[in-house]
Structure formats: structure tokens, C-alpha cells
Amino acid sequence: MDPLHDTNRKIARGAAWMVSFKLIDRAIGLATTIVLARLLVPADFGVVAMAMVVIGAVELLGAFSFDMSLIHQPTAPRENYDTAWTLTLIVALFSGVCLGALAQPASAFFHEPRLEAVMYVLAVASTLQGFENIGMVALRREFRFDRDFKFLLGKRLASILVTIPLAITLRSYWALVLGQLAGKILSVALSYRMSDYRPRFSLVAKDRLLHFSKWMLATHAIAFLHRRLADFVIARMAGAGALGIYSVSYEVSNLPTTELVAPINRAAYPGYSRLAADLAKLRSSFLEVISMIALFALPAGLGIVVTADLVVPVALGWKWVEAIPLMQVLALYGVIVAVQTNINYVYMAVGRPGVITAITGAEFVVQTGLLIPATLQYGAIGAGWAMLATAIVMLPVNQILIARQLHISPRAFCARLVRPFIATLLMVAAVWGVKLALATPQQTLAYLGALVLCLCVGVAVYVVVLYQLWVMAGRPDGPERHCLEQIRPRLRRAKC
């Protein structure tokens, strides 16, 4: 079999597993967020978000991405896996000590006395994460995404089965905190059940791993500042309530875009690493993955934009209505980011992680210049607009650089987006028309009915238009064909 076709097939199959997981995971996550939003108040989410800002900053000390290094290497002997596990464990222990030491100062800085005890518990959870079995990386390297699917789903369910009962019982932020702790414990246990690999203490391959991972550390540090700067600024200037609204708005609005695209990227990276030496094949595989991302991200993100005024009252309740415009802005941001996230995996595959660091650094500079004054002037919604503006500014930069790296013409790139883009625009127009035709009273049940109708119309219009455009194009190879190949066997089994 042709290596390119075989790799693309494995990527498509792996992406199908990972997207299936993410659909289930996000459905569970959305349901959990809805339940928790009704049981807790925005300030509860804000307290935990404050803790996550500090935890994320400390965990940057160990953000070497050893898993990426293991997947990138042509061969990965046992000593590499053992060294990666040992280094991860050492850093996790060090991070836990640092988090414990920072608990009181962080509480004082944010003027939030509840934060100190939360930090102590989450420091333990962060330390436990370092014990996770490094053998799980081998499953991704070998394209065994079915087992990766089961592992990730098990982690998600473990946390939820603890969080929701605690929220019902305690009605406080402690449900979120203890749920995270339980999730880490069960995640570690599950990793040793899912993989037969048993790591040993070793530092033999440390130089080999750190050579690649030093760039990933720098990239993750800048990316963290880029991702969490808004949380930090809002927490300091507007308090836990505003941060809670921003955090939940970001999570819900980005569920169907960046979160859904992440599993596609997870499946694509091992394939890119195998094709890195052949530019033509790598370019073809990259365009194939971009098509797949656009197929999901465009309708999902713009669907949130057009239905946010229905989603928020139905899903979160009327006390969250001020999140509607923020959610719409952040959903647009998520769409733009989603179609660019795969670019970084190409640079990692060809051994140029320094490019990612430089791009992320430039993005952080732009964001900082926009975010602080916008948040000072307009609060959380200002932060949302600053994030969107940053993504728009960086869009042409990313596209020009990847075009040079892979020798991609603008026409070839746009050709991969045109069908889902047209189908999405018609979907948005149809949903907007349905909303205008409905006279929906301000009642949760009425809003729920309107939302369900809009979703059904949107999905139907998008699928029909996309299929017709694909047929008119001559049924080319691409994500539409891969989706049909995944759906048809299931439909046959269902009929039987």
C-alpha cells in the first residue's frame, strides 16, 4: 500500500476514534457544566479558575512535552520511555511543593481567602499526575487510538462521578476541587490498567529528550501566558464573579471548535512524523487534515454564535445571561484558532519547534498590548474582543509561514475550506431565519424548544448542502469520503 495513503488512512481512523471520544467527552462535559452552573454560582467557578492560573504557571516548569519527543523520534527504545517517566515524576513532585508554598501568597494577591485551602488540595492532585504510565504514549505512536479512546473516556467519567454528587451535597466550589483530585487518582490507576508497560527509574536518555523538549518548554510557557493572561487580568481587576463568567463562557463557546479539533491533531501528529522526510506527502496529509478540521469547526463555532442567546438561558440559566455576547465573541475566536492549531504539529514533525516558540511569542506580545487596556475599560467582554482581535492579526502570519514551509499556494489551501465554508454560511442563514420566524416567550421551556428546532434545521441544512457540494465537485477524496466510510458500516450493522 502507498505510504501516504496508508498514513492518511491511519490518521483518518485515529481521528474518527478521537473525534468520537471528544464528541462524547464534550457532551458529558457540557451536561456537567449545565448541572454545575445551576448548582453553583459564578464565584465558585472563579475561585477554582484563580487556582488554575497559579497551577498552570507552576506546571510550566515541567511542560517539556516528552510525549511529543517520543512520538517524533524514528525509534524510541525503552530507555527513552523510562527517562521520560522519571523526569515527569521529578518535575511533578517539585511542582507540588511549589504550589503548596504559593498557596498563601496567591490567596493574598487575589484577595481571595478561600483560595489557600483550594491550592493545597490541587497541589496534591498535580503531584499525582506525574505518576501516570508513560506507556500510554506508545498507544498513540502505534496508532492504537481505540485504547487511547477508552483511557480518555475513563478519565472523564471518573472525575464526573465524583464532582456532581459532591456539588449536589456541598453546593460549593469544593465539589470542583475534590472532583479534580479524584480524577487524577483514578487517571493514574487507569493508565496502568490500560497499558502493560511498567516504567522504571532511569535518566539514561535525558540529553536526547531534553534536546527536543527544551523548545516545547519555551513554547508552553509563552502559550500559557497567552491563554491565561485574560484569567489573570480579570481575576485581579474584576474579581471571582467576572472570572467565573469568562471561564464558563470560554469553555462552552470553545467546546465545539478548539476542543473538538484537539483529537484530530492528536491523531495527525504521529502521521506527520512518519511523513516528515517527504515534503509532497506531508503537504498532502496536512491539507487533508485541515479539510477535516474545517468540516467540524466552522459549523460548530458559528452555530454557537447564532444560537448563544438560546444556549445560555437553557444550559446555564437566567443568572448567566450577561455571558451571551461574550460567548459569541469567544466562539468566533475559537473558529479562527481551530483552523490554525494543526500548523504547530507540522513544525514539530519536521524538527522546527523553535518556529512555534517564535510565533507564540509574537502572539503573546500582540495579545498583551490589546488585552490589558480592553479589560480595564470594558471588563470581561473587553478581554473577549482582545482575544478575537489577536487571532485575526495572527491569522495571515500563520498562513504565510506554513505556506512557505510546505510550499502551499493560497488557492490550494482555500480549496480545502470552500465547501464547509459555503455550507456553514447557508446553515447560519437558515438558523437565523428560524429564530426570526419564532416568537419565543422568555421561558426556559420555550427557549429549549426553539434551540432544539434551530439545531435540527442547522444540522440538516449543513449536511445536505455539504453533500451536494461534494457531489458537484466529483466526489473527491477528502473528509466527506472518510466520514461516509465511517458511517456506512455502522448503518449496515444498525439495519441488521
215 or 193: which carries more pLDDT confidence? 193
The stretch 238-247 carries a mean pLDDT of 76
Closest CA to 117 of 128, 125, 107: 107
Q: Is the predicted pLDDT of residue 385 greater than 70, yes or no?
A: yes
- Poorest-pLDDT segment among 8-17, 195-204, 209-218, 244-253: 8-17
**pLDDT tens, position by position, 398-457:** 889 988 998 888 888 888 889 999 999 999 999 999 998 887 677 778 888 899 999 999
Domains of the chain, residue spans: 3-412, 417-496
Q: Is the predicted pLDDT of residue 65 greater than 70, yes or no?
A: no
Q: What's residue 148's pLDDT? A: 64
- The residue with cell 485581579 is 236
| Residue 147 banded pLDDT, cuts 50, 70, 90 | low
Is residue 169 exposed (0-12), middle (13-18) or buried (19+ Cβ within 10 Å)? exposed
Closest CA to 106 of 90, 123, 129: 123
- Using CA atoms, how far residue 109 sits from 172, 196, 376, in Å, is 22, 45, 18
The stretch 278-286 carries a mean pLDDT of 86
- The answer to whether 66 and 209 have CB atoms below 8 angstroms apart is yes
Q: What's residue 431's pLDDT? A: 95
The stretch 199-205 carries a mean pLDDT of 82
| Residue 364 banded pLDDT, cuts 50, 70, 90 | confident
Q: What's residue 486's pLDDT? A: 66
Q: Which long-range contacts (CB under 8 A, 24 or more apart) does 158-167 make?
A: 158/182, 158/183, 158/186, 158/187, 158/190, 159/183, 159/186, 160/28, 160/32, 163/32, 163/36, 164/32, 164/35, 164/36, 167/35, 167/36, 167/39, 167/40
- The answer to whether 273 and 212 have CB atoms below 8 angstroms apart is no
